Chains A and B, each alone.
Chain A
Amino acid sequence: MIQIKGVTKKFPEVTALDNITLKVQERQFFGLLGPNGAGKTTLINLIVGYLNPDQGEILIGSEKVTRDSLETRKLIGLVPQSLALYDDISAETNLEIFGSFFGIEKKLLRERIDALLNSVQLYDRRKHRVKSFSGGMKRRLNLIASLLHDPPLLLCDEPTVGIDPQSRNAIFDYLLMLNAQGKTIVYTTHYMEEAERLCNRIAIIDTGKIIADGSVEELLGELSFEECISISKNQTTTSKIDLLKKFGKVLEEQDHYELTPAGEFRLSSFFGLLEQNGISDKFIYIHKPSLETLFLHKTGRRLRD
């Protein structure tokens, strides 16, 4: 569906994307995971043709994307990060305006607007001005405004920023339903939980480079260890934390230390050392590694740093 071939995009003060190559298959729910400023939105802007790459090319189907090509845009629905809506007019009028740009026949557009408003429980509020909506309602309207022309490809640029968990879940369910109906979805986020929950393939991006790409299982398989260790923070553990650094990378969090094992790590050796130094095992919590662990392992930083 999407082929990104060796794409580089530079701005005066930063290289936003550095030789990116990616493929997104049809019907895939593709996650682009990375911290703020990693280059996710720039990549989305290149895929929709808002920006031209400095090097490389992007194909949607067999069509090359450029700033001036209008054909590929009929295949794309974009859910922008910001609420790209007109506040002073009704939800329905917003949809009529955005739908009209695709030249959809009036009756069909009317039917689609009603169906989409119903699908996100906004039909009863269709005549209300957008400015009277809650954040979650605006997000839902922002989402369906991208679906009026029934595009096969939906690009979601952090579509759940700033909303409550209930609204977020509603949007997740809606996107999963769209994906099940056959839409290809590209979803950018800096929340690894979102990526893990929604996406069947994930690319991790940092400072304009793809540092990992695959399914969650494939990505976690890249790690040389099978468990991570959290150590509660208290007087005893704090005074002896340096002893544990020989088992791997230790990151200090607000209420605990996170140990990412390295090298030939053995749990028996680890607990032996704890016992010798009088550290109770009740301060230790062992858990499975996550994409966060992978990011930390690859970059030495956390996703939300």
Chain B
Amino acid sequence: MKQILRLIKKDYILFWGDKLVVSLTFIIPIILIAIWGAIFGNIDSGVAGLYLAFVNNSSSPVTSKIERVLDTTKAFILIKKYTDEKGNRVLFDTNTVKDFVRKGKSSAALVIPADAYTDTSLGIKLRFYYDPKNGMEMQMIQGMLQRTIMSQIPGIFMQSLQRQAMRTLGVDSGKAFNSEIALTVSKYYKIDPKLVLGSYPIDSNLPPEAEKNRNIFGNILQLEQIQLVGADISNPWATRSVGGWAIMFLMFTLTASSSSLFEEKKSGVVLRILVSPISRVHILWSKYLYNISLGFIQLTVLFVAGSLMYRIDIFSNFVNLLLVILAAASACTAFGMLLSAFSKTAAQANGWGTFLILAMSSIGGAWFPTSFMPGYIQTISKFTIVYWSMDGFLQVLWRQAGIESILPTLGILFGVAIVISSISVLQFKKGEVF
């Protein structure tokens, strides 16, 4: 055991002696976690700040209301003016706003035409011009636009229905029909019949008792949202992000560390060590234990950094977190050693390592939740160390899971470590490293 400890001490001295490796192990992942967290930090509080070029050619109070709503919602930033050739700020018209999109200065423009909503309209006409260069952004803009308009001025829908009834049945019968409908809706949904009939102007301020019933559709579909898990987590996306980046960098670190055996062999150091009273078994054990301990330290440091940057609560379930970290470090060490055992050079091990780590990180849920992925990829992801490590981290950090809940995950990670390590040791005996 003393010889193994001496070898581990040697590896730590070498690790600390190479400041680039130290920074790649700790500082670079922390920077990336910070960047990733900053990018996605507000994803849970909704979409905000989508740029939308905007022209309102209508004088209708309804379209004024739409403009006011879009102006005040945080989802959009409306661009209403452009700078002409003389440097003057000029309001858009339909042609200039289309040019603006064509030139790529905005991804989309909303034009409200002059006849958008008249006394006889059955609905609102809007024109949406867009550049499909970014499909995801376009879907977000369209979705948010529809949602904002429908949620803020639902009365338009009621007016439209009543106008349709009068147009079909005639004015008198239509009024009677609408009145009957309004009374029925009023009776069962307990709202003011005037609201159903649209007697309040769409853009007016309603009395408080009517305001709460303004969105009739909201009353029809009463979807109550109650968060059961992670309600007290201040930065849920960062919680996932820290775990994902940490496990990916852990694998890079341990693959590089394992492949250092090749460098030591090439320089003759392995031979020098083996001429001392140290056996190959000592070297292998020391590499395993060193890598596991380094991985444990790295993950712990990254989680502590995540906790400081994003207020992730790692301490209320700290012991279980450490258990998952140990299991993940063991499995990742086994992966790194497997690569070294089956490779003939350090370059081979690192090349395969990069490919496999990026593949496992992407499909294992290190970057995005696996639920975003197609079913067959979700199935494949379960065969990766990243998936089970992420599962463990999320269990202890999101669900505050106890030891009995995380035992299956720990079992899988330690089991993977044992199986892969056994294969590696057999391969090391007949391989190129020693």
Q: Which residues of A contact B (CB under 8 A)?
A: 45, 48-50, 67-68, 70-71, 73-74, 76-78, 80-86, 88-89, 93, 97-98, 100-103, 145-146, 149
Contacts and interface: CB of A to CB of B under 8 A. Distances in A.
A84 B268 contact: yes
A78 B272 contact: yes
B279 A68 contact: yes
B268 A88 contact: no
A78 B273 CA distance: 10
A85 B267 contact: yes
Nearest to B278: A101
| Residue among B10, B14, B274, B276 with the highest chain A CB neighbour number at 10 A | B276
B17 A80 contact: no
Contact of A88 (B17, B266, B275, B278): B17
A50 B13 contact: no
A84 B271 contact: yes
Given A70-B279, A89-B14, A100-B9, 10 more contacts: A48-B274, A50-B271, A76-B275, A81-B268, A83-B268, A84-B269, A89-B17, A97-B13, A101-B276, A149-B276
Contacts of B9: 100
Contact of B272 (A68, A71, A145): A145
Chain A at the B interface: mostly helix, strand, loop or mixed? loop
Contact of B268 (A71, A76, A82): A82
14 contacts: A50-B274, A74-B277, A78-B271, A80-B272, A84-B272, A85-B269, A88-B14, A88-B17, A93-B17, A97-B13, A101-B3, A102-B276, A103-B277, A145-B272
Given A82-B267, A103-B2, A98 B17 contact: no
Contacts of A48: 271, 274-275
Contact of A78 (B2, B3, B275, B278): B275
A74 B275 CA distance: 8
A28 B132 CA distance: 85
Interface in B348-373: none
A65 B230 CA distance: 63
A273 B279 CA distance: 66
B25 to A, nearest CB: 15
Contact of B273 (A49, A76, A101): A101
A86 B277 contact: no
Contact of B267 (A68, A71, A76, A84): A84
Closest 4 A/B residue pairs (Cβ): A84-B268, A82-B268, A101-B276, A80-B268
B6 interface: yes
A73 B17 contact: no
Contacts of A101: 3, 6-7, 273, 276-278
A48 B268 CA distance: 13
Contacts of A83: 267-268
B85 interface: no
B2 A80 contact: no
A242 B267 CA distance: 49
A93 B13 contact: yes
A89 B13 contact: yes
Contacts of B18: 88
Nearest to B3: A101
A131 to B, nearest CB: 11
Contact of B269 (A49, A86, A102): A86
A81 B269 CA distance: 11
B6 A100 contact: yes
Contacts of A71: 277
A48 B270 CA distance: 13
Nearest to A102: B276
A56 to B, nearest CB: 20
A157 to B, nearest CB: 9
A51 to B, nearest CB: 10
A65 B200 CA distance: 102
Contacts of B10: 97, 100
A146 B273 CA distance: 10
A85 B263 CA distance: 11
Nearest to B10: A97
